[in-house]
Structure 1
């Protein structure tokens, strides 16, 4: 009898482990709470920006398409793009506007590098651990607290043509009477220079504080390593200081550029109360205000502000493209 051996049983295969349940990413409650808190904290600033910047600008765009006369009993009349055409083609309007735009560009080209460089020099000078250094920082920052109208009045006393002018009195004493009757504000050659000097004096402290904060963020170990490598002060400034504040310096340059295009108060105060040469110092903001309230032409003034806004935005974008930090995409 033949015996049939049974086939060997197949070894038990390990059972596949069950797939782990899919875990859905859950946003932490803290992140949601931080977002809500951030929105609440920024709401007042956003509300003010919308109420005092966005809404007036949109209203100015609307008014620029109408013939609106301040105090006129006639209703506003739709003008289309006539106001814009007059700005560039009408000699009575294009001439003063282009001269004002040229003055604005001249002011910005001089003030931006001068004020930024002077602010950087002051920040480096005051970035030291010395006794009473806070007093010196406060003194340099003090002009920023003064309103620009008050600064203009002070400098009107300094630059006055008469013998009571402080600058002319000093020149008269130093030159033994040869100088001392210069018309700093009324002469077209020195009028814009006078506006530049008083503007830089008033605003340099603000940029200085921003750059000083940037300097204090540079690790001291970098300077110690540079000193061990026997780097000179100029090499430390070029290879440590400038790279460390590159982003801050770019921000300060852009901020100074925007503020330089807004020059108005000092020009208005000195033109109407100090004998300032109007043609040599006329700015676009001054042109817009005088068009609106001296000529009562609200529509034309609105068109000037809209065109000027677009020009400033374009120049700011170009400047940001040119001077932006190298680590930025």
Structure 2
């Protein structure tokens, strides 16, 4: 007599007959993850890692931008390009200009930004208006800002008319070697201080108000509260702004290019490292030498960032 199979037996037979999965759920999850990040990986390889590798290879070669041959078959010069960088008087002048610019611009940017952040974080009316007003210059393009300052600082411009009230002789600030770089510093500070203000503001708003209230009860004045509470607690924010500001100033290009017409004048007084790199690469078509300059600039930025980080860590440890 035929005996009916139980449901459990039927299901086990079905499972045995069912085809095996070639891709497990875990493997599918991994594939989905790789598919999601594939656009970023491909774009990074094509537009970041690939060009870096090519530039590094070019830094050891003598190669012109318009050469018909491949850069791989270009003449190898070893470390000659790097040795040439430190013997090049114009590059050394651009290095000096860039560091002077950075030493002037960075403290002004950070001090003014911190003061503005404290103002808009205090109990004043129309705080939103002032935050927007201080931040708007950062949204203006470098070309527009440069044209505005060229108009303001020309001989018959508004700035000269203002200082003439105090008996100061009008000058064409952007065409005199003594003053051109200083005028660019003022322009850069005005156009970028809003970014650092917003970052400082976020750091200030993280400080608990109870600390200020307790310090006020203990008799601490505003100056003491600033140095004992505000500065120590915004140290990470200050470090971030410092690193970003130093990197930004050492990479300054657009203002100098527009103000000087691309030649770093007058008398190379506004020539910066990145502007010199650009001129060597795209005006003089020395791609190998320009690549060496680029990696020297990277080494300088990397070294300064490590030094800044070490200094801040030592201060925190103390």
TM-score range, shorter chain: 0.7 to 0.9
Is 2:165 the partner of 1:170? no
Which residue of structure 1 aligns with residue 79 of structure 2? Answer: 81
Rounded to whole Å, the distance in 2 between the matches of 1:206 and 1:41 is 32
Distance 1:213 1:325, change over 3 A: farther
CA distance in 2, matches of 1:274, 1:301: 16
Partner Cα distance (1:267, 1:248) in 2 = 29
Query: 1:247·1:325 contact (CA, 8 Å) conserved in 2?
Result: no
Distance 1:46 1:237 in 2: 45
Pairwise CA distance, 1:58 = 2.2
TM-score by length of 2: 0.81
| CA deviation after TM superposition for structure 1 residue 225, in Å | 0.2
Q: Matches of residues 63-102 of structure 1 in structure 2 within 5 Å?
A: 63-73=58-68, 76-89=74-87, 94-102=88-96
1:236 Cα shift? Answer: 0.6
TM-score of the two chains, using structure 1 as the length reference: 0.79
Unaligned runs of 5+ in 1: 1-34
CA drift of 1:154 comes to 1.1
Query: 1:210-268 CA deviation, whole Å, 9 max, x = no partner?
Result: 00000001001001101110110001101111122111111111111111111000000
The Cα RMSD (Å) is 2.8
* Structure whose alpha-carbon radius of gyration is higher: 1
| Cα pair distance change 1:45/1:115, threshold 3 Å | farther
Partners of 1:271 and 1:278 within 8 A in 2: no
> Which aligned pairs between 1:293-312 and structure 2 lie closer than 5 A?
293-312=282-301
SS in structure 1 of the partner of residue 252 of structure 2: coil
Deviations 1:124-162 (A, max 9, x none): 11102433211110000001111212211111111113x
Q: 1:218 to 1:40 in 2, by over 3 A?
A: farther
Match of 2:227 in 1: 238
Gaps of 5+ in 2: 1-29
1: distance between equivalents of 2:211 and 2:250? Answer: 38
Is the CA contact (8 Å cut-off) linking 1:69 and 1:296 kept in structure 2? yes
* 3-state SS, counterpart of residue 189 of structure 1: coil
In 1, the alpha carbon distance for the partners of 2:229 and 2:45 equals 40
When residues 207 and 227 of structure 1 are mapped into structure 2, their CA distance, relative to the original with a 3 A threshold, is same
Distance 1:251 1:41 in 2: 30
CA contact (8 A) 2:263 2:271 kept: no
How far apart in 2 are the matches of 1:109 and 1:157?
A: 26
Contact 1:159 1:167 in 2 (8 A): yes
Out of 167, 189, 193, the position equivalent to 1:204 is 193
Deviation at 1:87, TM superposition (A): 1.8
Q: Which of 120, 142, 157 is residue 148 of structure 1 equivalent to?
A: 142
Trace 1:114-129 onto structure 2 (pairs within 5 A): 114-129=108-123
On the 8 A contact 1:250/1:325 being kept in 2, the answer is: no
Q: Which of 92, 99, 103 lines up with 1:105 in the alignment?
A: 99
1:228-307 mapped onto 2 (5 Å cutoff)? 228-272=217-261, 276-307=265-296
2:124 to 113, 125, 130: 130
Query: Does the 8 Å CA contact 1:156/1:274 hold for their aligned counterparts?
Result: no
